[in-house]
Structure 1
Amino acid sequence: MQRMPNAIQLTDLTRDDLVEMYAYPVEASVPYVRVNFVTSIDGAVSVDGRSGGLGTPADHKVFALLRDLADVIVVGAGTARAENYGAAHTDSELRRRLHREGLGGDAQGTPPPIAVVTARAALDPASRLFTDTGARPIVFTTAAAPDDSKKRLIDAGAEVIVAGENQCEAENIRTSLDALGLRRVLCEGGPSLFGEFLTAGAVDDLCLTLSPQLVGGTAGRIAVSPKAAPTPMEPRHLLLADDGTILTRWERAATRG
């Protein structure tokens, strides 16, 4: 059994250290799916329906870096609505440097697109996702979604991709992202989408932040699916922030090439 790495103080690390610790595999031949979540120490995934109440400066720092490293940010429609998602705004200089070094980013420094998963194409074309200046959003939906709903999203500027007949399937999403050349995948939830990727055996990496607070309430867990899908993971690092935030990274024990 792999032992948990010794804890490292976040303040002892430079940005370049963090880039090295969170870098995706170089030139991955297939999409590498990383999931990022924050929970309270009693396991709550949200406060009053939003994850923002769990955020800390350390979590925000890593959240931003993960976006800088990614080719695409995938999120479920419920999370996009609850968190009022807009376009991603990343560090253009860092993304250009990451691209030069083969670690991620983008040659022009442009931010990664947001890809929203919605079986019924149930998104508001007037929401920030479509009105915020940034990369063109991607919408994964189904053949069964109303054609007029899909057309409204296309007219609002989205690239609409059918990823299943009645539900969006994780493997179809991965295949579509691969065809677009988007292989460094960052999934920001929610729990149902995480569960879909987990059940499909498509989760390669989990970045999990423990926020130093107790929440209680009725908030659910970070992954929800109709059936269990035990997936052995190996710890890669454990970082400690001065305020008690714990940042962990876990990688699938047998990752794809």
Structure 2
Amino acid sequence: MTTSGTSGAGIPDIVGAAGLTDDDLADLYAYPDTSEPRVRANFVASVDGAISTNGSSSGLTSPLDQRVLKLLRSLADVVLVGAATIRVEDYRGIRIPESGQQRRKTQGLEPVPPLAVVSGRADIDPGSRLFTDTIVPPIILTTAAAPAAAKRDLAAAGAQVVELGPDRVETAAIMDTLVGLGMRRILCEGGPSLAGQLAADDVLDELCVTTAPTVVCGDARRITHTERPARLRMDCKHIIFDTDGFQLARWARKS
């Protein structure tokens, strides 16, 4: 691993992707040693800020981006995703390679983290890959107002269905529920409305962004989408430069 810079002095580490091992990546993206909950979001975006092409992020990703995605999942206690992203990206259950499972076991974690899906209306297909192609059943975070039949169907498909509030899934309830389940290292994979909610409610601690070397124009959303103004000051901890022009940065809340 080739690096320059000193992140401790406020200057990000500059890292060349060539020769990066899984252990190198695990060191770069390691969670701080703290008992406090930690919320990290991970997105891929174009140079001009779009997080999708033709409605999906698949046109922006790269082999290293996918490798880091899997690594971030292997470091997390839970992967938090909005229902719209589950549908658009056709999510299946999390898969962790054997090396990642071994790393998790040494840290006292379950081999594979669950998906926690935020859906105020419980609007998720119980026949989707989220249920049919998974190792760990998902956790559905919904509301009392969601149709009872939909919640029953999701529970029958194997989900742990949790009602959070009367008609809206609030950030505080998400955090209380996940932390109550022993899940303190939370990885949010979108979508932008959920990421915007976490940022506006001041619980977003880190943002990992892969920048694709392309401009896509159009009307795609940005990483965070919310009508509530918020400003979080961030420090760049590292930037990985890949030979294909992709850049992977890790940003953390300014202390």
Q: Does 1:150 align with 2:151?
A: yes
2:200 matched to which residue of 1? 199
2:26 matched to which residue of 1? 19
2:83 matched to which residue of 1? 77
How do 1:157-196 and structure 2 match up within 5 A?
157-196=158-197
2:42 matched to which residue of 1? 36
User: Does structure 1 conserve the Cα–Cα contact (< 8 Å) formed by 2:77 and 2:184?
Assistant: yes
User: Does structure 2 conserve the Cα–Cα contact (< 8 Å) formed by 1:30 and 1:178?
Assistant: no
Q: Does 1:106 align with 2:109?
A: yes
TM-score (norm 2): 0.93
1:237 matched to which residue of 2? 238
How much has 1:25 moved relative to structure 2? Answer: 2.1
Match of 2:71 among 65, 75, 91: 65
Within 2, Cα distance between the matches of 1:200 and 1:70?
21
Within 2, Cα distance between the matches of 1:198 and 1:37?
14
TM-score (norm 1): 0.92
Could you list the runs of 5+ residues in structure 1 that have no partner in the other structure?
none
User: Does structure 1 conserve the Cα–Cα contact (< 8 Å) formed by 2:65 and 2:248?
Assistant: yes
User: Does structure 2 conserve the Cα–Cα contact (< 8 Å) formed by 1:31 and 1:177?
Assistant: no
Within 2, Cα distance between the matches of 1:185 and 1:127?
23
User: Does structure 1 conserve the Cα–Cα contact (< 8 Å) formed by 2:37 and 2:179?
Assistant: yes
Per-residue CA deviations over 1:89-109 (Å, capped at 9, x if unaligned) read: 111332222442x4xx735xx
User: Does structure 1 conserve the Cα–Cα contact (< 8 Å) formed by 2:206 and 2:251?
Assistant: yes
Within 2, Cα distance between the matches of 1:73 and 1:60?
15
Q: Once superposed, what is the RMSD of the aligned Cα atoms?
A: 1.4
How much has 1:45 moved relative to structure 2? Answer: 0.8
1:50 matched to which residue of 2? 56
2:4 matched to which residue of 1? none
Letter aligned with residue 24 of structure 1: Y
Within 2, Cα distance between the matches of 1:6 and 1:215?
28
Aligned length: 247
Superposition misfits of 4+ residues, deviation over 2 angstroms: 28-31, 92-99
Within 2, Cα distance between the matches of 1:181 and 1:156?
23
2:124 matched to which residue of 1? 123
User: Does structure 2 conserve the Cα–Cα contact (< 8 Å) formed by 1:37 and 1:209?
Assistant: yes
Secondary structure of the 2:18 match is helix
Secondary structure of the 1:7 match is strand
Within 2, Cα distance between the matches of 1:6 and 1:67?
22
User: Does structure 1 conserve the Cα–Cα contact (< 8 Å) formed by 2:71 and 2:100?
Assistant: no
Secondary structure of the 1:11 match is coil
How much has 1:8 moved relative to structure 2? Answer: 1.4
